[in-house]
Amino acid sequence: MAVTGWLESLRTAEKTALLQDGRRKVHYLFPDGKEMAEEYDERTSELLVRKWRVKSALGAMGQWQLEVGEPASLGPGNLGPELIKESNANPIFMRKDTKMSFQWRIRNLPYPKGVYSVCVDQKECCIIVRTSNKKYYKKFSIPDLDRHQLPLDDTSLSFAHTVHISLI
């Protein structure tokens, strides 16, 4: 979808907005049946959550697919409908955007900075994060750039590594 096509689909979408718990929530219903929900911090206007939902082939509404932000925690003791809880030691991959950049954060990867490699795969239009010890590999695209049909630029890619220590 070209830039003008995406902007036109945003203009034609049915929109609903509300303020709740310090967040501005905007819901878009597109003519093709897709739904997008966004949540912004009311004070800073920072995008906190963006998620999509698409109808299945039989017309039933699918599950929400998170594009930006962290999944809502179910709370202690609540295992959700699957009745299985993922280990909190597994890597957590999440997107957090700012006004100037797209950011991804990967938590629970205990290796030093020199082990990581971050590169752009121009052929598949995606970014690859891997470790030299072959313990982690993640390939992902940027849906915002895909919607606007913009290429990935190697020179715009940067990588930072931080170690967080929590004391209980």
Edge to edge, the sheet with strand 65-68 lists 14-20, 23-29, 35-41, 47-53, 65-68
Higher pLDDT, 71 or 21: 21
Q: What is the pLDDT of residue 37?
A: 93
Say what the pTM is: 0.67
When pLDDT is cut at 50, 70 and 90, the band that residue 1 belongs to is very low
Q: List, for residues 46-76, the tens digit of each pLDDT value.
A: 888 999 998 887 778 888 888 888 776 555 5
The CA-atom distances, in angstroms, between 10 and each of 15, 28, 161, 162 are 9, 8, 36, 37
Q: What is the pLDDT of residue 89?
A: 75
Q: List, for residues 81-121, the tens digit of each pLDDT value.
A: 566 766 777 788 888 887 788 888 888 888 888 898 888 98
Span 10-35, mean pLDDT? Answer: 91
Span 136-144, mean pLDDT? Answer: 87
Report the residue count for the chain.
168
